Amino acid sequence: MSFVTLLAAVADTNAAVAKVAASAPAGAANFGVMFWVLTLVSAAALAVVVERVLYFHRVQIDSAQFLAGVRNVLRRDNVIEALSICDATHGPVARLVKAAILNRDGGRARVEEVIEEIGQVEVPRLEHNLPLLATVAQVAPLLGLMGTLFGFAAVFRELRHPDGVAYGYAAPGEMFDGLMQSLYAAALGIGIAAFCYAAYNYLVHRVNLIVLDMERASREAVRLTTGEADAAGPAAASGDSGARGK
């Protein structure tokens, strides 16, 4: 490269730097399009996590205490009060027990059928929006990678003359914008994926706990509504008396 060509390159670089400095406000940062896309995705994922946590906090109850209260009321044949307890309690466990009480006259088969129908409705309600969170956890790194590619494309774009002829050089500030876009997008994509993956596992654990409570409550509801609990009580008591007599 001749000395004249080098001087021309330096002059062009200085002019580009001056143009960037004049057009960009102080402290401005060009994060790129994918950065803002990832920001919107992270806001949606955070909204899902907050909504699910609040929902689980509202519907998860102390099932043992709830069933004990219903059992004591039903032993006094006070069905109206038992239904009132179910209505005053939030969550799928209370709705399951209420359905079993309302269909107690249909026999054990009818009660089990109703409990199964309630479970088929309540479980998808508990898992609402969790597939969206899992999808974000898988897609966020890909969006970050896409932002990285866009950032490098911006770097190479600065190495070209407006007429399409390659310069081979550019103002450092212009190249740094593309590199920063790449780093921001990659970091945000990985961070969102890590958060969503951890949040998804936590929420699935909460769902499993509530489903376990529903299974326990369903067995207890069948015994309460079919009279098996009361029948087992005297039998167990007589067995204990006989054992003590021996």
Considering the domain boundaries, does residue 9 fall inside one? Answer: no
> What whole-number distance in Å separates Cα of residue 49 and Cα of residue 55?
10
* Higher-confidence position of 40 and 155: 40
pLDDT in tens, 199-234: 999 999 999 999 999 999 889 888 887 776 554 444
> What whole-number distance in Å separates Cα of residue 219 and Cα of residue 151?
59
**What pLDDT does 196 receive?**
95
Q: Which residue range is the domain that position 76 belongs to?
A: 32-228
Considering the domain boundaries, does residue 62 fall inside one? Answer: yes
Beta-carbon count within 10 A of 190 CB: 14
* Contact (Cβ atoms closer than 8 angstroms) between residue 17 and residue 173: yes
pLDDT in tens, 144-179: 999 888 888 877 776 665 555 555 555 566 667 778
> What whole-number distance in Å separates Cα of residue 223 and Cα of residue 219?
6
Q: Which are the contacts of 106, defined by CB distance < 8 A and separation ≥ 6? A: 114
**What pLDDT does 198 receive?**
96
Mean residue pLDDT of the chain comes to 79
> What whole-number distance in Å separates Cα of residue 228 and Cα of residue 93?
20
**What pLDDT does 143 receive?**
92
**What pLDDT does 137 receive?**
94
Count of domains forming the chain: 1
**What pLDDT does 26 receive?**
39
pLDDT in tens, 52-72: 999 999 988 888 899 899 889
Burial class (CB in 10 A: 0-12, 13-18, 19+), 110: middle
**What pLDDT does 43 receive?**
94
Burial class (CB in 10 A: 0-12, 13-18, 19+), 48: buried
**What pLDDT does 138 receive?**
94
**What pLDDT does 228 receive?**
62
pLDDT for 195 beyond 60: yes
pLDDT in tens, 63-120: 889 989 988 988 888 889 989 998 998 889 999 999 988 888 888 888 889 989 988 9
Q: Which of 34-38, 42-46, 129-133, 149-153 has the lowest mean pLDDT?
A: 149-153
> What whole-number distance in Å separates Cα of residue 89 and Cα of residue 169?
70
pLDDT in tens, 6-18: 334 445 544 544 4
**What pLDDT does 56 receive?**
94
Q: Which are the contacts of 226, defined by CB distance < 8 A and separation ≥ 6? A: 104, 107, 108, 111
Considering the domain boundaries, does residue 2 fall inside one? Answer: no
What 3 state SS string does 176-224 have? HHHHHHHHHHHHHHHHHHHHHHHHHHHHHHHHHHHHHHHHHHHHHHHHH
**What pLDDT does 42 receive?**
93
**What pLDDT does 6 receive?**
38
**What pLDDT does 45 receive?**
95
Considering the domain boundaries, does residue 5 fall inside one? Answer: no
CA distances in angstroms from 176 to 13, 141, 152, 171, 236, listed in the order given: 14, 22, 10, 9, 80
> What whole-number distance in Å separates Cα of residue 199 and Cα of residue 214?
23
